[in-house]
Chains A and B, each alone.
Chain A
Amino acid sequence: MSVEPFIGLSALLFTIGAVGVLVRRNAIVVFMCVELMLNACNLAFVTFARAHGNLDGQIAAFFVMVVAAAEVVVGLAIIVSIFRTRRSASVDDASLLKL
């Protein structure tokens, strides 16, 4: 199986995730788009592992998954605690650093 379609798909998913981060206001949806981007990277890793014939790519993808899990845990805990105080999960609320 050729590698290019997988890479292309990975790139496309990454782009869609990136645009999603820019466009959505709900913090949780933004987080989900970030997860989408991470998953796209994982796909690329696994594909290149197959292309190069060693499992380093899969190890990398494994680590990405673990770290993503940890990140999601902490991030959602933050969102929950923010939501408790502010009653809003909009990303646009943190805008005090403007000039």
Chain B
Amino acid sequence: MTSLSSVVLAATEHAEVVPVAADGVFSWVWLVVAIPAISAAILLIGDGAGDHGPLDRFGHLLGTAASIASFVVGLVAFVALLGRDAAERAITQDLWTWIQVGGFDVTMSVYYDQLAALFVLLITGVGSLIHVYSIGYMADDPRKRRFFGFLNLFIAAMLVLVLAGDYLVLFLGWEGVGLASYLLIGFWQEKRSAAVAAKKAFIVNRVGDLGLALGIMLMFAQFGTTNIHEVGLNVSNASQSVATALGLLLLLGACGKSAQVPLQSWLLDAMEGPTPVSALIHAATMVTAGVYLVVRSAAIYDLSEVARTAVMVVGTVTLLFGAWIGCAKDDIKKALAGSTMSQIGYMMLAAGLGPAGYAFAIFHLITHGFFKANMFLGAGSVMHGMNDDVNMRHYGALRKMMPVTFVTFAIGYLAIIGFPGFSGFFSKDKIIEAAFATNFWAGLAALIGAGVTAFYMTRVMILTFFGDKRWREGVHPHESPKIMTIPLIVLAALSIAGGALTFSSWISDWLAPVTGEEHHDLPVPAIVITAVIVLVVAVGVALAYVLFGRRDVPETAPQNVSVFTRAGRADLYGDAVNEALLMRPGQYLTRSLVYVDGSGIDGAVNGTAELVGDGARGLRRLQTGFVRTYAAEIFGGALVLVLALLAVNLA
């Protein structure tokens, strides 16, 4: 890795960013956050006059309207940003002073630049589509007012995260999305598995949050400020070890939020939440917050090769990890979750490549947002038609029964495997190319990952839409209502069209002021790599067709499978590792502390009390009531007195 050149390049690139004060349209960017926040407050805190008041009947419409309004504002701001000069695209607006303690100043500031603009569009756009979808999906749920309130809360928090000009404000949004995720995973709180999954997500995220918090503290300790822009400027004066430490700590935070190894165990369990939640939070937006953090902190990562390598390693390991798990799952949502984990691994890998890869990471993030949300909503549509059954072994031959769902899902499928022409082809291709240019093994791993992705996604398609009917009793698959299929169509269209963003390398140019730009020479011409990728993908599809398309699919999962399948089914023993390393020692520790507290400390205190009591009981026996006993005690006392007098006299 030519780090010196990248450092120089990055330094010069970043020095060019001079934030401009907000004016005109941009002074209203904060509305993007305020509208969903107010809507969330109304939906969650407002009473609505009982269970069937107006809020309960129309709350979902309010929530969707808030999301769409936010999208409109974001679109207007984006268009205005397009009209601006490239050097004036970093707009900052201080809203109010949040914390002012001693030398620590944190202002609630909005920082709207090219990166934030893309994210705002993604979050509000995909978010609004999912709101519309949820109107249909959650139509029968009595608590849908709360659901929409939580969704709005999530949108508001995620927007705080991406629009933050200060790391502490980012952390506020970070925690906010964590809260929203917990509330939404455990939305059906009467289901014990949902409540447990929500708790698990929150706790694993906490470990990551600790890393981010420590990073912010280190920033303050070293630089005296947590403003993103200023940290970016100051870190070039800091020592290498500080930059490495910051990079690793931020990476820990990103691993938690983005479900990367080692903090990946919560993502598959998070599928307990309603499907729109899985689509919005655990596919398109929240899990990408980690990638956003790494790209936003590009200044830090550019200075530390160790941190970058760590990010690359995490990304590489996770993309293979997620792909392995995705192959072995029969639950359609869990298979898609494994796929999400793997694709975010790709994004992390790209982000770890430095300025050469940041733009591609964001590109893949956006296209992934489209096609993964598309596929999750499609899965929700399939589940809706199959009485909420998630087991793919009970599906089969659904393409005739649910044509719209089938077509849109197929489009998403083609995008994710990287079929030429679809958005995923362009984004994944660029990442694999950049990986090969930097490190052969990373590139190879990404290539293999592409093949495995093709394999398991084809498996999902075949099991769900092709083959023989394996439906249960009383299941009548039917197409979903328009309110659910229209968002599917829109997202499918975006899955195709999103690739256009690279036709003119628009995205690299757009993001260059933010991330820096770098080109590495490829060992072989780009077209050769592309051909190899397509070949590997084809092999994966063919293998899946042979294994699943030609044979009968058993209705219950076969037990005598290879060790790899068993490992995949067990989430590659992630839970077992967590339990052995952390949970059981923690339990033993707390149990022993409770024991020490109970018998040691309580024992000492109670023991002292009992000692006093016993002493008193013993001394009480001196008071017999008999005169002769008292006379004996007086006599004894006189003896002691005589002894004392003697001692004094003799001394």
Contacts and interface: CB of A to CB of B under 8 A. Distances in A.
Are chains A and B touching directly in their complex (CB below 8 angstroms)?
Answer: yes
Interface of A: 18, 21-23, 25, 91-92, 94-99
A21 B638 CA distance: 14
Contacts, number: 31
A95 B631 contact: no
B631 A21 contact: yes
15 contacts: A18-B635, A21-B631, A22-B628, A22-B631, A91-B626, A91-B627, A91-B628, A94-B625, A94-B627, A95-B625, A96-B625, A97-B623, A98-B623, A98-B625, A99-B620
Contacts of A25: 628
Interface string B180-203: 000000000000000000000000
Nearest to B627: A91
Q: How large is the interface on B (under 10, 10 to 19, 20 to 34, 35 or more residues)?
A: 10 to 19
B169 to A, nearest CB: 71
Given A25-B628, A98-B624, 6 more contacts: A21-B631, A23-B628, A91-B626, A94-B625, A95-B624, A99-B623
B646 to A, nearest CB: 13
A25 B389 CA distance: 97
Shortest 5 CB-CB contacts between residues of A and residues of B: A98-B625, A95-B625, A99-B623, A97-B625, A99-B620
Contacts of B623: 97-99
A50 B631 CA distance: 33
Contacts of A91: 626-628
B468 to A, nearest CB: 92
Contacts of B632: 22
Interface string B159-174: 0000000000000000
A95 B626 CA distance: 5
B636 to A, nearest CB: 10
Contacts of A21: 628, 631, 635
A35 to B, nearest CB: 15
A92 B635 contact: no
A99 to B, nearest CB: 4
A11 to B, nearest CB: 10
B626 A92 contact: yes
Interface in B593-651: 620, 623-628, 631-632, 635
Nearest to B638: A18
A13 to B, nearest CB: 15
Nearest to A97: B625
Contact of B628 (A92, A97, A98, A99): A92
A72 B161 CA distance: 102
A22 B625 contact: no
